[in-house]
């Protein structure tokens, strides 16, 4: 059973991406100001993958697993209603079987530790993720070496890696490619950069970088602020 | 002596065989509480004083924590000696709940071992300041510097050596005190004479280097010390004050070295307890106000305040039940009334004693900070006592859920009463030991923290209660359920002379969402007369207690009855009830019935290097791993595992992780048993039925 979530998934924005998506071995990032809904949007991306029966590793650098699980459960309940999912318990079982949560609490995170943990998952229980969702990485304090480490993990484990990043209103401008801080110095590491932007009409998801292309002015979708599902195509964001 | 600032309530806890019982023995000797020394497994056959239970003396491990007190240089020290085995952690937990500080005993050879890690985590939970004693420096392979490093690396302590050893292994002679910068040697038959002398030249450089480290660490907690270091006018008092401050903040762990067995290093450790461990005034305690919906109220350690005391341990002594109390606030005297805030019952303080292993000293009064014992008070472990002026409860002691169960039965009729008496006593003493009668099988089950834990109680039943007890293998409580809708249309007809029986019921059964039983009456036009409907319901319900597959209860079924027929003469409640039973039997096989098993939420905590082993062990037990959380040097793996696969897990986990992991489990849900196992279970059940028929 594969659930077609593509028309409503926030990842619909990548339909017209040059490579139809992020691609294995690559890093993608979803940035937004605090409180806009990065984690919710990231979990929708996770469901997009889980509903395709792909394996997903959620790496949390802040929250304990119980909290991550409860995020998933709340969003899942909304999706059951929005998608009119039948055989709900089977879908839930599918989600639980294909999702793994790794949490790194109290600054326990190191790339080598992640690599060790992923090897344990692969060798001891046969869990090899197709996608990683990394939530809670503080980009203001993260140096390039850590991101390069993630890139190596993505390549070595043949997985896509999605991050969330907090952007700050008070931090000055964008780089010449239109990428705001805190990613302006490290945008080359990512193949896809998405930005959630709230305005008076709702929330827009903008594609700031699509592999080698920056700032495609038509690549923006509107997100339902209640469900974080894609609503309709909108005009290009004025911020691009 | 009533100066509460000079009172120390400390625990001594560590990995089994680190020598903490020997250490306690020496402390009692040097503080003149005992006048001779007996070894844990000594040739004199007396056994260590703190190991007061016969079984402990025989096994050489401490099973019950024995409380005692002593005095050292004007300080009164209450000590709880705690067990080292992982199965007895409730004892450690209780001790930590009531103590203000703790000495973590480490083996100079074994270093930071599994139980040290577990105990340290427990100390964190109760925010207990601690100091460390690296014992057994006389042993071959002793490496105290490595152990101090492990304290930093494995336990994340800001560990700082207060001493360095003079010689090691067979050459271990004494210690260099890095505060006074003097060498300390111990002479006399039991090391009771202390000789202070100059630091041996060969150790001077190391001593200077380690003192620098000590000053660096301590100066973080004292500007005065920092200034004094810069101005080169450091005094012993400045160092003591800074180390004490850091220790009380739980940001510094002073480390002492020695050998309890060889009588070296114990007196300086006692000096350290007096200097660095908190007094009751240094610890913030709170109680929950039962009159104000459990609002936390601070306790003050004042003698004149309303009394608040916690019963943290019950023991059965030859003179009756002994209740250990920690007094947090106020005071009480022999002959006064106390109120147990759990049931608001008053109890009179009869005998009031201060415990010293298995002997006791009668006292007339106890006050804030004291650890004392009462005789003849009927209560449970964890009860709070007041003088009636407050109605509050101390935060309950964390009680881990039992992880293993066994069926037990008395071997003969004499033992039945004795077993019941023993069980009644054990559950009052130990909240991690539980017992209940399985309503389905009628068997008595005991549950506890591990196989050894239960083993000890079973042995105590035999020894102390003369109860001959046989044990069985625990049984998993399987359930059955229907998985799809199936129709029924059943006629019960019996005409064998006399009054006949007639009833027809029709409708369907299907899974209900909530796991319960639901009966829906959709009969129209009186096809089944209303007076017979309850009998139909009752007939279906009677089938649920024992499902046809395994004879286990059936969960989650909705029965809808929408048609039927009666006979004006032969129909009766009995006939319709029998018809419903027939209808159930007719439809049940068509519902594709399932066997369900209890699935437990299992949480395993282990040092991170064992994550892979733990995951494998769960995977091999049909478990599904949900998450893994890394925190410092530890990993917690959460999973769902069928209960049937969890028996023996404590032992397996111990061997997989060198005893460094612990796990908890609780019921999560019922889930479908895999087909192959379902077939085995059905075959077993069929075998039992055949056996029963013979």
CA distance A141 to chain B (A): 20
Q: Residue B439 pLDDT > 70, yes or no?
A: no
DSSP letter for B401, please: P
* pLDDT value at residue B312: 83
Interchain proximity B626–A65, CB inside 8 Å:
yes
* pLDDT value at residue B633: 81
Q: Are A62 and A47 in contact (CB under 8 A)?
A: no
pLDDT (tens digit per residue) in B314-326: 776 667 778 888 9
Report ipTM (2 d.p.): 0.89
Q: Residue B405 pLDDT > 80, yes or no?
A: no
Whole-number CA gyration radius for chain A: 17
Residue A94, chain B, CB below 8 Å: the answer is: no
Q: Mention every residue, 6+ apart, whose C-beta is less than 8 A from residue A98.
A: A50, A53, A54, A55, A56
Nearest to A118 by CA among A94, A145, A149, A141: A149
Which of A101, A105, A126 minimises the CB distance to B626? A101
Confidence of residue B572 (pLDDT cuts 50, 70, 90): very high
Interchain proximity A108–B630, CB inside 8 Å:
yes
* pLDDT value at residue B600: 82
For A96, nearest residue in chain B (alpha carbons) = B626
DSSP letter for B442, please: -
DSSP letter for B530, please: G
CA distance A155 to chain B (A): 22
Confidence of residue B32 (pLDDT cuts 50, 70, 90): confident
* pLDDT value at residue B442: 80
Rounded mean pLDDT, B656-664 = 81
Q: Are B316 and B428 in contact (CB under 8 A)?
A: no
HSE-CB at A94 with a 13 A cutoff on CA atoms is 19
* pLDDT value at residue A29: 95
Residue B336, chain A, CB below 8 Å: the answer is: no
Q: What phi and psi values does residue A206 have, to the nearest 5 degrees?
A: -110, 140
- Joined together, the tokens standing for residue B576 give 């319709």
Rounded mean pLDDT, B42-63 = 51
CA distance B305 to B163: 41
Rounded mean pLDDT, B396-401 = 58
CA distance B336 to B162: 46
Residue B674, chain A, CB below 8 Å: the answer is: no
Nearest to B408 by CA among B395, B426, B420: B420
- Calculate the alpha carbon distances from A183 to A6, A139, A209 in Å: 28, 7, 11
Nearest to B118 by CA among B664, B628, B626, B618: B664
* pLDDT value at residue B274: 94
- Joined together, the tokens standing for residue B391 give 């109605």
Which of A108, A119, A125 minimises the CB distance to B631? A108
Q: Which residues of B657-691 are buried (b: 16+ CB within 10 A; e: fewer)?
A: bebbbbbebeeeebeebeeebbeebeeebeeeeee
Confidence of residue B564 (pLDDT cuts 50, 70, 90): very high
Rounded mean pLDDT, B534-549 = 93
Nearest to B645 by CA among B599, B683, B688, B577: B599
For B619, nearest residue in chain A (alpha carbons) = A125
Q: Quick check: helix, strand or coil at residue B352?
A: strand
Ranges under pLDDT 50 in chain A = 233-240
For B634, nearest residue in chain A (alpha carbons) = A108
Q: Which of B609, B627, B671 to mutate to test the interface with A (most CBs of A within 10 A)?
A: B627
Residue B671, chain A, CB below 8 Å: the answer is: no
* pLDDT value at residue B418: 93
Rounded mean pLDDT, B520-529 = 93
Nearest to B20 by CA among B129, B114, B99, B135: B135
* pLDDT value at residue B188: 83
Q: Where are the alpha helices (DSSP H) in A126-228?
A: 144-156
* Strand blocks (E) in A85-224: 99-105, 131-135, 160-167, 192-199, 202-210, 213-214, 220-223
CA distance A80 to chain B (A): 16
* pLDDT value at residue B358: 57
Q: What percent of chain B has pLDDT over 70?
A: 86
pLDDT (tens digit per residue) in B469-486: 998 876 677 889 999 999
Q: Are B19 and B105 in contact (CB under 8 A)?
A: yes
* pLDDT value at residue B38: 62
């Amino acid at each position: 059973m594969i659930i077609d979530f593509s028309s409503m998934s926030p990842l619909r924005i990548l339909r017209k991406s040059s490579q139809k998506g992020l691609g294995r071995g690559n890093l993608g990032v979803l940035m937004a100001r605090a409180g806009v809904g990065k984690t919710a949007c990231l979990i929708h991306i996770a469901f997009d993958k889980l509903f395709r029966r792909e394996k997903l590793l959620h790496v949390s650098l802040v929250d304990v697993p119980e909290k991550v699980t409860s995020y998933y459960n709340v969003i899942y309940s909304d999706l059951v209603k929005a998608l009119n999912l039948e055989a709900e318990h089977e879908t839930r079982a599918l989600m639980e079987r294909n999702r793994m949560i790794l949490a790194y609490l109290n600054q326990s995170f190191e790339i080598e530790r992640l690599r060790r943990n992923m090897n344990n998952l692969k060798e001891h229980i046969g869990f090899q993720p197709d996608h990683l969702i990394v939530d809670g990485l503080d980009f203001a304090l993260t140096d390039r070496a850590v991101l390069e480490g993630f890139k190596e993990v993505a390549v070595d484990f043949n997985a896509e890696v999605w991050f969330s990043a907090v952007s700050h209103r008070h931090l000055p401008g964008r780089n010449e490619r239109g990428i705001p801080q805190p990613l302006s110095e490290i945008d080359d590491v990512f193949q896809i950069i998405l930005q959630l932007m709230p305005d008076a009409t709702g929330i827009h998801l903008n594609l700031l970088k699509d592999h080698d292309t920056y700032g495609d002015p038509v690549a923006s979708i509107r997100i339902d602020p209640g469900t974080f599902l894609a609503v309709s195509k909108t005009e290009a964001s004025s911020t691009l | 002596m009533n100066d509460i600032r000079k009172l120390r309530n400390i625990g001594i806890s560590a990995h089994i065989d680190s020598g903490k019982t020997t250490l306690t023995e020496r402390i009692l000797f040097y503080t003149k509480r005992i006048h001779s020394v007996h070894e844990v497994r000594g040739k004199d056959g007396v056994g260590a004083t703190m190991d007061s239970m016969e079984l402990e003396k025989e096994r050489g491990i401490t099973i019950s924590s024995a409380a005692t007190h002593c005095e050292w240089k004007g300080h009164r020290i209450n000590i709880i000696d705690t067990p080292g085995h992982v199965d007895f952690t409730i004892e450690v937990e209780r001790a930590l709940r009531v103590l203000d500080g703790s000495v973590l005993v480490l083996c100079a050879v074994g270093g930071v071992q599994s139980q040290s890690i577990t105990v340290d985590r427990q100390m964190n939970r109760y925010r207990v300041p601690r100091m460390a004693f690296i014992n057994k420096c006389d042993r071959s392979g002793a490496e105290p510097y490595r152990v101090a490093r492990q304290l930093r690396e494995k336990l994340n302590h800001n560990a700082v050596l207060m001493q360095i050893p003079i010689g090691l292994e067979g050459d271990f002679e004494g210690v260099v005190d890095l505060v006074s910068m003097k060498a300390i040697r111990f002479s006399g038959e039991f090391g009771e004479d202390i000789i202070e002398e100059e630091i041996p030249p060969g150790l001077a450089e190391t001593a200077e280097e380690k003192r620098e480290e000590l000053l660096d660490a301590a100066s973080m907690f004292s500007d005065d010390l920092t200034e004094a270091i810069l101005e080169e006018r450091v005094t012993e008092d400045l160092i003591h004050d800074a180390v004490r401050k850091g220790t009380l903040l739980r940001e510094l762990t002073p480390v002492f070295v020695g050998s309890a067995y060889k009588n070296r290093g114990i007196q300086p450790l006692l000096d350290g307890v007096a200097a660095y461990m908190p007094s009751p005034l240094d610890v913030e305690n709170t109680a929950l106000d039962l009159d104000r919906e459990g609002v936390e109220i601070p306790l003050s350690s004042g003698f004149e305040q309303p009394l608040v005391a916690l019963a943290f341990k019950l023991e059965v002594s030859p003179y009756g039940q002994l209740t250990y109390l920690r007094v947090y606030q106020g005071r009480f005297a022999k002959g006064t009334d106390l109120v147990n805030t759990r049931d608001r019952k008053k109890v009179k303080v009869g005998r009031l004693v201060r415990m010293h292993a298995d002997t006791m000293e009668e006292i007339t009064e106890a006050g804030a900070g004291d650890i004392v014992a009462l005789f003849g008070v009927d209560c449970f472990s964890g009860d709070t006592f007041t003088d009636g002026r407050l109605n509050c409860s101390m935060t309950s002691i964390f009680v881990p859920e039992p992880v293993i169960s066994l069926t037990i039965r008395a071997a003969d009729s004499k033992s039945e009463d004795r077993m019941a008496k023993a069980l009644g006593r054990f559950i009052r003493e130990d909240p991690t030991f539980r017992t209940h009668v399985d309503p389905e099988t009628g068997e008595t089950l005991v549950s506890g923290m591990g196989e050894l834990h239960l083993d000890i109680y079973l042995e105590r039943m035999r020894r102390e209660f003369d109860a001959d007890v046989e044990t069985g293998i625990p049984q998993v409580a399987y359930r059955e359920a229907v998985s799809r809708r199936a129709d029924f249309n059943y006629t019960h007809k019996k005409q064998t002379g006399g009054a006949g029986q007639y009833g027809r019921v029709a409708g369907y059964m299907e899974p209900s969402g909530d796991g319960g039983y639901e009966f829906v009456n959709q009969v129209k036009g009186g096809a089944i007369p209303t007076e017979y409907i309850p009998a139909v319901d009752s007939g279906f319900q009677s089938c649920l207690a024992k499902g046809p597959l395994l004879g286990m209860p059936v969960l989650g079924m909705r029965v809808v009855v929408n048609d039927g027929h009666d006979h004006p003469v032969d129909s009766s409640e009995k006939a319709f009830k029998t018809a419903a039973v027939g209808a159930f039997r007719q439809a049940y096989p068509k519902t594709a019935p399932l066997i369900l098993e209890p699935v437990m939420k299992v949480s395993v905590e282990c040092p991170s290097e064992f994550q892979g082993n733990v995951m494998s062990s769960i995977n091999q037990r049909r478990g599904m791993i949900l998450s893994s959380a890394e925190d410092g040097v530890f990993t917690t793996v959460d999973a769902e595992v069928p209960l049937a696969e969890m028996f023996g897990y404590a032992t397996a986990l111990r061997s997989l992780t060198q005893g460094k992991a612990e796990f908890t489990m609780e019921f999560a849900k019922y889930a479908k048993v895999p087909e192959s196992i379902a077939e085995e279970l059905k075959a077993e059940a069929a075998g039992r039925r055949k056996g029963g028929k013979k």
